[in-house]
Every structure is written in C-alpha cells, then in structure tokens.
Amino acid sequence: QLQLQESGPGLVKPSETLSLTCTVSGGSISSSSYYWGWIRQPPGKGLEWIGSIYYSGSTYYNPSLKSRVTISVDTSKNQFSLKLSSVTAADTAVYYCARRASGWYGYWGQGTLVTVSS
C-alpha cells in the first residue's frame, strides 16, 4: 500500500528557508502516471496548493509562491522535497505531500506542522 511521510524541522526562523522531504513507500516515485505535490493548510484555514513535480523533474508552482518555492525529486531515494525561502509567520501551516493522478490527490501524507517563529 502506498504511503507518504513528510519529514523536516517543525520550527523555522523568520527569513530563513523551510525544507521538507516526502518519502514515498509502497510504490515508485518514477511511475509515469503520477505527479507529486505539496499542499499546505494554515491553522484553522483552508487548503493551498504549493506545487507539483513529475519524476523527470518538471515542476508547476502556485504563482503566488513561485518566487520562493523550489520542489525537487530524488528518484534514487524515492523522495521529493520542498524548499520555501524567506519565510514569515504567514507560512506557518501543516504541510502535506500527496500523489496526484489526473489532477486529483488520492494519497496524502499525515502532514507536518511547521511553525515560523524566532
């Protein structure tokens, strides 16, 4: 069964870079059928799509975050990663990684809370 697991620091200082990794198990990240994405949810608020990546490295980013976001993939480790630079308190959220098939996200990680605070 496919599983996704986010990992990374739970606390990041303002102006620094948030870095998270999603480890995929029970399936290959190199499958041609899927994209892999990051979605976040500020406390008590709705879902925001951050971006997606294909195993080949092709990426798509939310225009509102594009200048600060980098998503990368490491097929040898079956992982993909998120970097968000110049963070502020507004970037405090639960960050989810997920697998996208034909536009929808059928498998999600459990989510990881990242707090931006000094």
Partner 1 sequence: DIQLTQSPSFLSASVGDRVTITCRASQGISSYLAWYQQKPGKAPKLLIYAASTLQSGVPSRFSGSGSGTEFTLTISSLQPEDFATYYCQQPVTFGQGTKLEIK
Q: Which residues of the chain form contacts with partner 1 (CB under 8 A)? A: 39, 46-49, 60, 62-63, 96, 98, 100, 102-106, 108-111
Provide, rounded to whole angstroms, the least separation between the CB of residue 20 and partner 1. 15
CB atoms within 10 A of CB 34: 21
Nearer to partner 1, 17 or 113 (CB): 113
Distances in Å between the Cα of 99 and the Cα atoms of 32, 36, 89, 90, 118 are 12, 5, 27, 25, 32
Nearer to partner 1, 63 or 76 (CB): 63
Is the CB of residue 72 less than 8 Å from the CB of residue 80? Answer: yes
Provide, rounded to whole angstroms, the least separation between the CB of residue 73 and partner 1. 18
Provide, rounded to whole angstroms, the least separation between the CB of residue 76 and partner 1. 26
Pairing of strands 11-12, 112-116: parallel
Nearer to partner 1, 16 or 59 (CB): 59
